[in-house]
Structure 1
Amino acid sequence: MTVTTGPTTPTAAATATRPPAITATGLAKSYGDKVVLDGIDLRIPEGTVFALLGPNGAGKTTTVQILSTLIPATAGEARVAGHDVTRDADAVRAAIGVTGQFSAVDNLLTARENLLLMADLHHLDRREGRRRATDLLRRFELTEAAAKPVVTFSGGMRRKLDLAMTLVGDPRVIFLDEPTTGLDPRSRRTMWEIIRGLVTDDGVTIFLTTQYLEEADQLADRIAVLDHGKLVAEGTAEELKRRIPGSHVRLQFADADGLAAAAALFGAGTRDSEALALHLPGDGSIPALRAVLDALDAASVRAESLTVHTPDLDDVFLTLTGQPRPGHPAGSPSTSNSSNSSKENAR
């Protein structure tokens, strides 16, 4: 029997004991009578990736702007890298890097010139600035393009340079606001690998906002869902998925006789006669799967395959915010309705 599983997400226990890189208590922002952020609380451990999801207008960018000292909060407190964002704003700015939705590189300069300009802004001496620029060009695989004007770069190259410029100041906390917007799938996955490396190799803390739910699923140790300025859920990707009903086990059969025998054996579930499949309610846990397989064996009923289907982040987003995931119209099916552990040739 072959078992295939998807990527695992680090558990909360693995990071809970780390000191916080970001904390917020009762953080709020209003413009007159319009409440944009309505008293959110955050605790993000060092050396982790935290993803903030939410529909457009939920308050994601406002949260980033407050935590990065770009705008003041109306109420509440926040600390980043141990510094109060209001009283110690300069210290916060020295400890963070920010990469926004739109590239901040200068199109008329070369890649190296952009990095050296950033080194000057960080008041690095000439020798250290050149060393850091060379290291970053190599790390981001931009060495061969170092002398080319940025206007000739592809979207993926521009985003890599943008992130490299953020790293010139050696930040301990990086805010990535929609970092892969507009990138093709290959470039997006390249950025994911770079982001993972920043955390695992450098111990950097990443605060990520994204419209791509797969991106949060792939990268984030913890995910929070923001809706109308309020946090409506927080946890690991798996914890959030478990909050949503709809888990089931799908048994596939070679013929109608096998399907009928299984339906009679379990007495519950939904038959799909056309697909020769039986859907049984279940959470996909090992004891539950073992019970299903043992029952099939005892009755000498053979299933061609067994697949566990659980809600994905699309379903979480839809359920918690009342909106389809970004980029999908209301009522459209999600791109995938399962995070699968499949058991081929189950008996």
Structure 2
Amino acid sequence: MVTLFDPIQLGDIHAANRVIMAPLTRARATRDHIPTPIMAEYYAQRSSAGLIISEAVGISQEGLGWPYAPGIWSQQQVEAWKPVVEAVHKKNGKIVAQLWHMGRMVHSSVTGLQPVSCSPTTPSEKLHTYDGKQDAEQARELTKQDIERILEEYERATRNALAAGFDGVQIHAANGYLIDEFLRDSTNLRTDSYGGSAENRIRFLQDVAERVVAIAGAGKTSVRLSPNGESQGCIDSHPEHVFVPAACMLNTLEIAFLELRESSPDGTFFGQTNQAKLHGPIKNVFHHPLILNQDYTREDALAAVETGIADAISFGRNFIANPDLVYRLENDLPLNQDIVKTWYSQGQAGYTDYSALNKEG
């Protein structure tokens, strides 16, 4: 019987266990979106995860509207990422870079640019800025020329991630950001080849994935989806009609793994939903490792892997407060509670100062 603590091959990446660190925005870069030395300490502390999926990393100035979040479009950013990745590798950890374009969830006061999306929509949520949360602005609809430019930015970001030493990349296609906005019928109002039918709405994800695979190789490429429920005002009326075919397309590309963040009626982040979870239908068409995420307890995670529902489980907030989460889960030890007010603050507090029972991490 396979357990949560057994190794797994994720494409080209050999993971020592199936406890994956989920991507977590922590806002510890500079205002120029350059990684800082404290980030090396933070990730190294958590290197016992089978695989670390980095915080979301902006592929361009246009696509990165989160204050103090890191980017990977410039050579200066690449050089600053190198010691972060090296610190993880020195502790025998593995880390991939999650590539991010925030789409309409960007505020112009952060980027200096109008937000963009598949269609000219406006989120109802207030957006993070350097001056606190502000009302969202209407996005500019992307032209075909814009889409080609963004695809080239994904290519550049992929090359940069590999140059920085990352073990691979994950395409962020979840949580109401740009690719997710293309996927869902509440935000994609286009009438061209990128809108309308499910096949057309999947097209942008497919274009991105094909470009990334061509550079990194399928064995170093993964994708994150959030197939059910609302994410930052982004929802689909019939998610099974778009996300199952999307997973089938990604299976054909033979990507290393697929990660799903699935909402539930009692979910604690990105809202609650009665829309059915789709990991079953998706697993029927996606035949590479499937990683599930969202509110998993130790018992839930153990059962999901042992019964084959998932091949691994990614943990987010538990990794914030427990740098030695793998050790604690394996030995059924109590977990530290994360401090919400320091999720996106700068400095060590609530970042690198959580205690570890296993001093080796």
TM-score over 0.5 for the pair: no
Task: Decide which structure has greater strand share.
Answer: 1
TMscore range, shorter length: 0.3 to 0.5
TM-score by length of 2: 0.36
Higher-RCO chain (CA-CA 8 Å, sequence separation at least 6): 1
